[in-house]
Each structure stands twice: as C-alpha cells, then as structure tokens.
Structure 1
Amino acid sequence: MKKIAPTISVAAAALLSGCASSSISYMPPSNHQSAITKTIEKPRDAVWADSVPALGKDFFVINNLDKASGLINVSYSGDPHDYVDCGHINASFENLSGRRDYSFDGSVKDTTYALYKYPILVNFRRQMNLDGRVNIIFEAVGPTETRVTVNARYVVQRQLNARASNGQTGAQADSVAFSSRGHAAFSEAGGGSTARTECVPTGKLEQEILSLIQ
C-alpha cells in the first residue's frame, strides 16, 4: 500500500471555488503514577494457587506458568484506550459550507477526521491496537508474606488510512513499544500534525492484574 505523504497543509488555502482552512493540534499525555507491586499476608504457594484460576477467568491469556521461579506471563490484545494514554488530538476544517471540528484521544481505538491539502479534501481513518505482555513475579518475603510485582510490555500499533477527494488513497502503519512506567513516541500525530505522538501506560492494566491476586 502507498504510504501517506507525511505533510498535510494546515494553513489557510484556496479550495476550488471558496476559501478553506484546516488545522490539527496535539496535547501530550498526562503523568500517570501507579503501583506495580503489592504485598500479601499469605505464603507464596497459597497466593500462587489462588492467582492462577483468578487470572484465567478474566480476559487475560495465560501464556506461561513457572511455579519454581514464581513467574506467570499473561497477555492482552485489543482496545488500548483504558490502558494507554497517547495524549489528545484536535482537528478542524472550514470552508464556505461551514466548519467541522474533531476532538479525540490519541489512544482511541477507531476514529475518523478530515483535513485539507490544497486543493483537495483528505479523509482519514485512524485505528489503534494494543498487544500487551505482562510478567507477574511472586516472591516469598517471609513464611507468611508474598510480594507480587507486575511488569508489562506494551506494543501499540497505529493504522492510518487516507482517501482524498480526487480518488487517491494511501496507508501508513507503525508501532511503538514501552514498559510499565516507560514511554515512547510515534514520529508524528498522523494526518498532518508535526508533533510526536507520545504514549504512556495509564497503570490500569497493572492495577487490574494486581486486584485479581489476593
């Protein structure tokens, strides 16, 4: 598939029979802080025994179990919005027929918007997906005390499809990867913004896993 041209005009431009203007702006993500460990007043074997069925009943996929080392690996694939903050995007275009405004989170699963690239209108569809793999580590702090640590690896994929009013089409696919309390940035916000779209964990994935472990 043909890659989308990396620059889209966001300045005022003359479009066909009337004046048109277009803009896109980006706001970086918030600073999220959340715990990735918890201590449970139970022996490690008991915590392990309760955790395996609890994790299996939720939407996580258990990939690996190693009781000797105290490691469980689980994965999640799907909508990134609750688990990743990729900032916020505002876009608009205006011509003699009126104005359209778009406002959406950078991690929203599926959205559409339109911008002008002189002298044509370009319609964008932006899709996001998360593949997350999580290591859960069980450590015996004492005979009746267990520390549980959650370390996640996030891979966020972005698919951007464009269709211009002259019939031309294009597509761009890219991804970023980061760990719990880490961050990474796409090269730009997509569809015209030159801002680097940064993504960070919200901490909700780690918290949901820790809440299942009692």
Structure 2
Amino acid sequence: MNKFLAATLFVASNLLAGCVATGVYQPPQAPQTLDYSREVNANFDSTWSTITNVAGATFFNIKNFDKGSGLMTLEYDNIRGNIGAYVNCGEFVSNQSAQKTIHPDPKSVINYMTISDLIMHLSGRANVMARPVADNKTQVQINSQYTLVIDKKIGDKVERVGVWNFSSREPDTQKADVSYRPTNVTCQSSNKLENDFLTEVSARLPSTARPEPVAEPSEPSKKKRSRK
C-alpha cells in the first residue's frame, strides 16, 4: 500500500512538474506620464456635450454629472472586448510558453497563473473633469478606478485567484500563484481607457475654422502727371 501511494505521488509530482514553467516575474514599468488630460480647441458647452455623447456611446454608464462644476462620474462593469488590453500586470519571463493566453500579451504573468480556464472581470468608475481655460479652449481630464478580479474554473467549480484595486495613477500589489508559486503581482492601468476616451472626445469635436488670412493693403498707385 505504501509502495503504491509512493508511486502515485511520484507520478503526480512529475505531471505537475511538467506544467510548471520556470521563469522570473517582472513587474510592469511605471507609466511615462501621469497627466491624463488634454486641451481641446472648443468652448466649454461644446466640449461638455461631446463628453456626454462619448460616454453614452461607449461602455460607460453615467452615474451623475454637474455641468456647473464640470464634473461627470462614469461607471463600467465588465468591459466588452479584451479586458487584458486595459490592464498591465507585468510579464513572466520563461523559456516555456503559457498554456493559456487570456491576456493579449503572450508573456503576461496572467497567462501563467494557472493551467485551468481563467475568468477575468474588470469594473470601476471614472471621474471626468472639464474646465474652460479660454473662450475656445477647454481642459478635459479623466481619472479612473479599477477592480480586476481573476478566477479559475476547475470543472464546475470557480476558485478565486486574486483581486486588484488600482487607479490611473496608483498600482496595486497582491499575492497570487504564478506557475504554482506564490508571487507578489503588481497590476496597473495600461492607459488604454484614459487615452481612448480623450481621443474620442477630441475626434468628435467640431473642427475650429481657421480665420482667413488678412490681405496686406496694397500701396496706393501713383498717377502719372500728364505733360502739358
């Protein structure tokens, strides 16, 4: 009986070893800029109307807004499309490929968290601020809060892998298994949500007509004196 148990454990350990990818976790690099704002060539009323239209046409729900203060709060729950494009949790540098590629970056550490099916859920809110800086110029800024939940599905059961709460400016570090080893994993925004929103607002604003160049006055013509 003991020999059978030992043999079973030996086979199981070999199978597990075949699933474990050896490598090194590399946290994401800090973003080059933390300024999630743009100055657009439009007055405040036109900009505010465009912000409202963009929010309603995308995956956001408008939670509340106050045009007087220029503040709008948006919420989102489980972004449609590839959630992985909106988050960056670093990479796992290994000579073995991940068996699951739920994240678009094949080297993403998320792909190495388990050999089971992964389920990612992303939700949060965004505060959008619009502030007039001139008659035809408005500053638009967006700051987002994220909640990333990663689960793994084993048969009919779902087990929690980890939960990360981060923002446009602040990352979050939580412990999760990476290739069956407890690892401190840092997750942060990829800046896609912020940049996409500001780009869409800028694209939908009416282009400002350039004033026609003023023609320089011509020199008065000199009349020739007639000879008598």
TM over 0.5: yes
Could you tell me which amino acid in structure 2 is paired with residue 80 of structure 1? I
User: What is the TM-score when the length of structure 1 is the normalising length?
Assistant: 0.69
- Out of 10, 31, 35, the position equivalent to 1:14 is 10
Counterparts of 1:17 and 1:128 in 2: how far apart (Å)? 29
| Gap runs ≥5 in structure 1 | 1-12, 94-99, 114-123, 164-168
Q: Quick one: which amino acid aligns to residue 26 of structure 2? A: M
After superposition, the C-alpha distances for 1:134-188 in whole angstroms (9 at most, x for unaligned) are 111001112222111110001111213457xxxxx77235312111021012212
SS of residue in 1 equivalent to 2:175: coil
Alpha-carbon RMSD: 3.2
* Cα distance in structure 1, aligned partners of 2:93 and 2:147: 24
Identify if the C-alpha distance between structure 1 residues 42 and 157 changes in structure 2 by more than 3 Å, giving closer, same or farther.
same
Higher helix share: 2
1:93-117 deviations in Å (ceiling 9; x for gaps): 9xxxxxx953652456xx961xxxx
Matched, 1:85 2:91: no
- Give matches, 1:1-214, under 5 Å: 14-15=10-11, 21-22=17-18, 23-24=20-21, 25=23, 26-34=25-33, 35-76=35-76, 77-78=78-79, 79-89=82-92, 102=99, 105-107=108-110, 113=115, 124-162=116-154, 171-172=159-160, 174-190=162-178, 192-214=180-202
Residue-pair matches, total:
180
Structure 1 pair 156–211 and aligned structure 2 pair: CA distance change class (3 A): same
Residue by residue, what CA displacement relative to the aligned partner does 1:46-69 show, whole Å, maximum 9, x if unpaired?
211222112211222222221111
Change (3 A) 1:193 1:42: same
Deviation at 1:80, TM superposition (A): 2.5
Q: Compute the displacement of 1:210 (Å).
A: 0.4
Say if 1:127 and 1:207 are closer, same or farther in 2 by CA, change over 3 A.
same
Q: Deviations over 1:10-46 (max 9, x none)?
A: xxx8326978624344332244335400001222112
**Percent identity between the two aligned chains:** 23
Q: Which has the larger radius of gyration?
A: 2
Bigger relative contact order, structure 1 or 2 (CA pairs below 8 A, ≥6 apart):
1
Q: Which has the higher strand share?
A: 1
Q: Which amino acid aligns with 2:83?
A: P
Unaligned runs of 5+ in 2: 1-8, 100-105, 203-228
CA distances 1:74-105 after superposition (whole Å, capped 9, x unpaired)? 22323531110112347899xxxxxx953652
In 2: Cα distance, 1:141 partner to 1:17 partner: 65
SS, match of residue 130 in structure 1: strand
Cα distance in 2 between the residues matched to 1:17 and 1:45: 66
Alignment-derived partner of residue 221 in structure 2 = none
Matched residue SS, 2:195: helix
